[in-house]
Amino acid sequence: MKLSLWLKTGGISARELAAEINTTEATISRLKNGHALPSMEMAGKIAEATGGAVTANDFLDLGPDSASIPGGGLDSARVLLIISGGIAAYKSLDLIRRLKERNCTLHVILTRAAEEFVTPLSVGALTGAAPHTDLFDARTEFDVGHIRLARESDLIIVAPATADLMAKMANGHADDLATAVLLATSTPVLLAPAMNPHMWSHPSTRRNVAQLKADGISVIGPNEGEMAEAGESGVGRMAEVPEILNALENVLGKAGAKPLEGQHVIVTSGPTHEPIDPVRYIANRSSGKQGHAIAAAAARAGARVTLVTGPVGIADPAGVDVIHVEAAAEMLKAVEGALPADIAIFAAAVADWRMAQLADQKLKKKPGATEMTLDLVQNPDILKLVSRGHKRPPLVVGFAAETQNVVENAKAKRRAKGCDWIVANDVAHERGVMGGEKNAVHLVMEQDIEDWPEMTKEQVAEMLIERVASAFSPAKASA
């Protein structure tokens, strides 16, 4: 049974339960509202106090719709959504639903072009109020409503953000309601660009996006993939709704404590691509979803985060410094360049091997030969080098992707590498972890091993960062 239901049916307050299990009322409220996951110890205490009615799994069962969708930290936020005239505007209807589920107070502005893609009627039906469309609207402008809209929001999200709207923003235009509000605001702004890949890579758009970032505006995406237009693919697809929610949380600086404030966290993520010749490479199935979720969770916890990522098809998390690399050697260089750090979490699936000799021309089939041998040499072991290096962060966490004897192998890896913790996951193909949405991990520490139930990668990230925050003490950092 859900904790909220158990409290309600028993007429028990969060404060009473907190007193019984020796924790704070705020902790119980966060657990009750689904804004945090309990530690194993806490889940055990709650199970005991509730006579087994509320177990650890009851905190993970978020229902089919929202199971993999983050955004709890947005609860009751005042959000202004600006929809501009791109084909991805239809996705914003889903974003509205998700924001409403999180009790956000929502105002929506549609640009003139956006009305060609979604109707004010469908937006109004979802939000329960007519969207704003006109700068010179006599019903709202009697008290300069566009300035009020700008002021009375905790954050502004533009999704989709067209090339045109970003060009106007970068140059300070204010000739319609959307651009006037964006120019009149000091509220944090997040853009989710979406456009044809040629528009995205055009030097004008590159310049405008760089200017907007320099102006302090956050950008999520776009992603690489299929475009809505038939036969088009490349970078330009709007970030998915869960990614936007995650980014909004980061931009808002998730409500509540910032346990990692002032700490620098390095996270690695994704696969590496080890070139064979100019057109081929050795890769693996890592999607980067887990590492990126960890970087986003650390940023929400207040840390300054450097994410070093191999090639992935997902959006950079907002509010995080991202360094894109291809091969293991580059990843090591980027990590070393990002040191010193207080915490390092190595979630990337770094290739163990690379070519002994990189071919500078495409390798050709040899006439008559039916076999081909590649000479490989070992890649640098980033986890080991950093764990045993002179700039070792006070807390180093490695990941072990295993297909058998998961915990035993992880224990051996922790000792061999010299890191503090290993997050071990079973990536046997049938479990669908590589590239999938869920993960079941074991946290292997020096004295203890925790077996976490299966949960989404966002939930694993939240729980890991909670553990990091409670284990990490600044005193250790200065030791």
Ligand X SMILES: Cc1cc2nc3c(=O)[nH]c(=O)nc-3n(C[C@H](O)[C@H](O)[C@H](O)COP(=O)(O)O)c2cc1C
CB of 94 to ligand X, least distance (A): 16
Look up residue 150 and give its amino acid.
Answer: A
CB of 246 to ligand X, least distance (A): 22
CB closer to ligand X, 111 vs 439: 111
Q: Which of 72, 73, 85, 222 binds ligand X (CB under 6 A)?
A: 85
Catalytic residue check, 208: no
Q: Which of 163, 220, 406, 464 binds ligand X (CB under 6 A)?
A: 163
Q: How many residues appear in the chain?
A: 479
Among 7-15, 81-89, 122-130, 378-386, which window interacts with ligand X (CB under 6 A)? 81-89
Decide if 377 contacts 402 (C-beta within 8 A): no
Report 256-275 residues binding ligand X (CB under 6 A): none
First-residue to last-residue Cα distance in the chain: 45
- Distance CA(122)–CA(135), nearest Å, equals 21
Q: Which of 18, 47, 60, 87 binds ligand X (CB under 6 A)?
A: 87
Buried b (16+ CB within 10 A) or exposed e, 54-86: bebebbbebeeebeebbbbbbeebebbbbbbbb
Q: Where are the alpha helices (DSSP H) in 315-405?
A: 328-338, 382-387
The C-alpha angle 81, 164, 223, rounded to 5 degrees, equals 70
Site string for ligand X, 216-255 (x = CB under 6 A): ----------------------------------------
Residue 322 burial by CB count (10 A; 0-12/13-18/19+): exposed, middle or buried? middle
Q: Which helix (H) or strand (E) holds 140?
A: none
CB closer to ligand X, 150 vs 192: 192
Among 107-115, 151-159, 326-334, 352-360, which window interacts with ligand X (CB under 6 A)? 107-115
- Distance CA(413)–CA(234), nearest Å, equals 38
Bridge pairing between strands 449-451 and 441-444: antiparallel
- Distance CA(202)–CA(212), nearest Å, equals 16
Does 165 interact with ligand X (rule: CB under 6 A)? yes
Does 113 interact with ligand X (rule: CB under 6 A)? yes
Report 182-211 residues binding ligand X (CB under 6 A): 194-195, 199
Look up residue 330 and give its amino acid.
Answer: E
CB closer to ligand X, 173 vs 280: 173
Q: Give the list of residues 6+ apart from residue 282 with CB closer than 8 angstroms, or none.
A: 273, 274, 276, 351, 353, 354, 355
CB of 88 to ligand X, least distance (A): 6
CB of 166 to ligand X, least distance (A): 8
CB closer to ligand X, 50 vs 111: 111
CB closer to ligand X, 167 vs 428: 167
Q: Which of 50, 92, 111, 387 binds ligand X (CB under 6 A)?
A: 111
Cis check: omega of the bond before 160, within 30 degrees of 0: yes
Among 33-41, 109-117, 339-347, 379-387, which window interacts with ligand X (CB under 6 A)? 109-117
CB of 128 to ligand X, least distance (A): 24
CB of 170 to ligand X, least distance (A): 12
Kindly state the number of chain residues that form the binding site for ligand X, as judged by CB under 6 A. 15
Among 85-93, 95-103, 215-223, 282-290, which window interacts with ligand X (CB under 6 A)? 85-93
CB closer to ligand X, 114 vs 251: 114
Q: Where are the alpha helices (DSSP H) in 350-441?
A: 382-387, 406-417
Does 114 interact with ligand X (rule: CB under 6 A)? yes
CB of 232 to ligand X, least distance (A): 10
Does 82 interact with ligand X (rule: CB under 6 A)? no
- Distance CA(209)–CA(316), nearest Å, equals 14
CB of 325 to ligand X, least distance (A): 29
* Marked catalytic residue, from 223, 250, 284, 425: 284
Cα–Cα nearest to 393, from 346, 432, 426, 430: 346
- Distance CA(407)–CA(425), nearest Å, equals 8
Q: Which positions lie near ligand X, rule CB under 6 A?
A: 84-88, 111, 113-114, 162-165, 194-195, 199
Which residues are catalytic, by number? Answer: 284
